[in-house]
Structure 1
Amino acid sequence: MQPLSTQIVGSYVKPQWLVRHGHEHHHDGSWWRPEPGVLADAMDDAVLLAIAEQERAGLDVVTDGEIRRQHYDRHFVTGIGGISLETIRDKEFTSELKSKTARTDLGDLWQNFRLSPTITGPLEWVSSPAIDELRFLKKYARRRVKAPIVGPMTLYDRLADDHYERPEDGIMALAGVLNRELKELEAEGTDLLMVADPALHFKLSRSREIGKAVIERLLEGVMTPVVLHVCYGYAKYSTSKTINPSYPEVLRLLSETPIQAMSIEYEQPGHTPDLLKEAGDKHVHLGLIGMGTHEIETPEHIAERLRAALKVVPPERLHPSTDCGMWFLPRAVARGKIEALVKGTNIVRRELGLDIPEYAIR
């Protein structure tokens, strides 16, 4: 990957004409606005829009925006044997992360969030819900592409477990299943694979015990570069984020695993370059675009943050990105933010004498 390559984490705007925001945890069909007979076409159009806006902004790597996914985690459950979507449990989500404040105006959203499919038997890979998404992306994208999936520790937390005696066993089983998912995507062909596993941060005590082993199993035999994304959670569901003292430990853990790159939430919590010393010799996808406000960052602000980060991580291993997924932002805001990301990166590219792709010059 070229120095200072730009990209979003995974998800892009899910337009109001496609989904009902606030219904993302409703599984009664109310999330999607179009009638069933035209839903597939509407999804295709929204993916084409996401690709076009990323490419028009000048990003170097694009995704399909995760447009077809109601959730980035539960989306993969349909391709895993041993999980029942009919057996639903009310499972309370717990987190050790104390640095964000949950909103109090979310109504029944959290009640629906707790309703979890159930592991009822041995977990096994059956099919990939992401293969067709990747094929569609590759058909229309003119840039390099990235295929994102959920991580095993996060997915396990979104499931009730009636089968495995220990959470560790269920998580390791999911790591094996998702390893097959990565290999299927690799066989289809993609420039980057990405795994989103924020539970590495949410439950650090568990990560200390099994995190490295889980990641090693997840990446076993995978040759395509893998980026592992760890965030503080969606800004949509929190009123504030402050630096969590445990975040550097998460990066240290990742630096000792086989991943090629880590994707870091950096802008909204207000991290400083000292954090990046924990990344070791890994590539760093640096979140320079915050999701907690509709204010669009200036290119100058991005360039300033990037210059400071470059004092720790060299340009060949540093890649400007977003803090987290963008699915809940208004289109104009998201578009402005990724355009600013490219413009700010171009300022620094010029200062370093780096080539700027023609498509990124605005």
Structure 2
Amino acid sequence: MTTELSLRPLPPFRYDVVGSYLRPESLKQARADFASGKIDQQGLTQLEDKAIADLVQQQKEAGLQVITDGEFRRSWWHLDFMWELNGVEKVAIEKGYEFNGEVTRAESARLTGKITGENHAFVDHFVFLQQFAEVGITPRQTIPAPAQFLKELQRPDNQSATTAFYPNEEDLIADIAAAYQQVFRELYDRGCRNIQLDDCTWGMMVDPTYSSNGLQADAHQCTCGKHVTPIRNEAIDLMAEQCLAVNNAALLDLPKDLIMTTHVCRGNYHSTWASSGGYEPIADVLFARENVSAYYLEFDTERSGDFSPLAHVSNDKFVVLGLVSSKVGELEEAADVIQRIQEATKYVPLERLCLSTQCGFASTEEGNILTEAQQWAKIAFVKDVAKEVWG
């Protein structure tokens, strides 16, 4: 399967990445030394700077059109961003996030006051990355979606604090959106032109066993007989509309040359996963109505269902097919990936498709269970397949 289509000059790129990379051992040691008081914040920052500069060089040598800081300054893909918002504190909770066979560290983000977004540390993080931009290389900032923050504040551990400051849910959504817009504006003013919103809320809604604030989806066996899919019900509809509302409110009136995309995940911790289910229950909300330019979608296993929900993707949007697993080191078969891309063209034309891994390689500092050599082999594989498909 080869075409005459050229590589894209703007995100999403034909061969793309979700953004996080395995932390080098030197960085892990630096963070441990900082936690134990052996080095101070300045010393940690210097070591982070070096690790990120080395990572950027590796990304460029890999032929990527996008660079990220690998999320090297973070412990979590989402909580570190939330902790830096005004009115939010880092807290220990009774139990961490549940994954298939593992439970994470027990940390969360809880309100201490009204939410605002000025002077966010991630802006300075981007400024450091921006110095490595060059023609044909786009620096990308990854951020947890507003909906992800909303659901964190609505966890049972945090709900009472949230209600204390926001008895009216509409006011909560408005302030979350305004805080995010503040961060977006500051990033834009410092040269950022591509922001990726990472969002597990949709991946949880499609799981028939997921339960949060009374949400419990009914389920049925899909036609392939290998997984179950939730049946739409009022609880899913309400949660989907709420998540759409807060995301779209944050996306209002942004500069036209700021490319906003989203990545939908079912959990990515230490090579494990948190949820399963196809996109159909939320496709007509997420794919048709969320105001982003592209969707980075998990499709590396049968747990994500088939491609038919992509029929809901509006005609002005791209889909980045996450057909290559970041959870395992073994390479996929190129012919199988190409065949699946062909299957996806039944619902979205090839010129609006791209290819990536299904998630990052280290959504938390623990990282997935593969080597750095395997990580870069995966990226090379994505690039090679994309070159064969799109020319």
1:197 aligned partner: 199
Deviation at 1:340, TM superposition (A): 0.3
Q: Could you state the TM-score of these two structures normalised by the residue count of structure 1? A: 0.80
Cα 1:38–1:257, aligned 2, differ >3 Å: closer, same or farther? same
Residue 77 of structure 2 corresponds to residue 75 of structure 1: no
1:41 aligned partner: 46
Q: How does 1:67-216 map to 2 (within 5 A)?
A: 67-85=72-90, 88=91, 90=93, 102-104=100-102, 106=103, 110=104, 112-113=105-106, 115-142=107-134, 143-159=137-153, 160=158, 161=162, 162-165=164-167, 169-203=171-205, 204-216=236-248
2:222 aligned partner: none
Residue 274 of structure 2 corresponds to residue 274 of structure 1: no
Deviation at 1:265, TM superposition (A): 0.9
2:347 aligned partner: 312
Paired letter, 1:19:
K
Q: Deviations over 1:299-341 (max 9, x none)?
A: 4443333233234322332121221121214211111100100
Cα 1:292–1:286, aligned 2, differ >3 Å: closer, same or farther? same
- Classify the secondary structure of the residue corresponding to 1:68: coil
- Classify the secondary structure of the residue corresponding to 2:16: coil
Contact 1:266–1:286 (8 Å) recurs in 2: yes
Contact 1:273–1:308 (8 Å) recurs in 2: yes
Deviation at 1:273, TM superposition (A): 2.9
Number of positions where the alignment pairs a residue of Structure 1 with one of Structure 2: 331
Q: How does 1:186-265 map to 2 (within 5 A)?
A: 186-203=188-205, 204-223=236-255, 224-236=258-270, 238=272, 242=276, 244-245=277-278, 247-254=279-286, 255-265=288-298
- Classify the secondary structure of the residue corresponding to 2:74: coil
Paired letter, 1:6:
Y
1:285 aligned partner: 320
For residues 237 and 354 of structure 2, the distance between their equivalents in structure 1, rounded to whole angstroms, comes to 29
Which among 362, 372, 382 is matched to residue 341 of structure 1? 382
Deviation at 1:347, TM superposition (A): 0.9
Paired letter, 1:215:
N
Contact 1:4–1:319 (8 Å) recurs in 2: yes
For residues 308 and 185 of structure 1, the distance between their equivalents in structure 2, rounded to whole angstroms, comes to 38
Q: Deviations over 1:135-171 (max 9, x none)?
A: 2222114412221111122123434224222556434
For residues 39 and 151 of structure 2, the distance between their equivalents in structure 1, rounded to whole angstroms, comes to 31
Paired letter, 1:74:
L
Q: Could you state the TM-score of these two structures normalised by the residue count of structure 2? A: 0.75
For residues 37 and 61 of structure 1, the distance between their equivalents in structure 2, rounded to whole angstroms, comes to 28
Once superposed, what is the RMSD of the aligned Cα atoms? 3.1
For residues 293 and 245 of structure 2, the distance between their equivalents in structure 1, rounded to whole angstroms, comes to 16
For residues 53 and 26 of structure 2, the distance between their equivalents in structure 1, rounded to whole angstroms, comes to 14
Q: Gapped runs of 5+ residues in structure 2?
A: 1-7, 206-235
Q: Gapped runs of 5+ residues in structure 1?
A: 96-100, 351-362
Which among 2, 5, 20 is matched to residue 14 of structure 2? 5
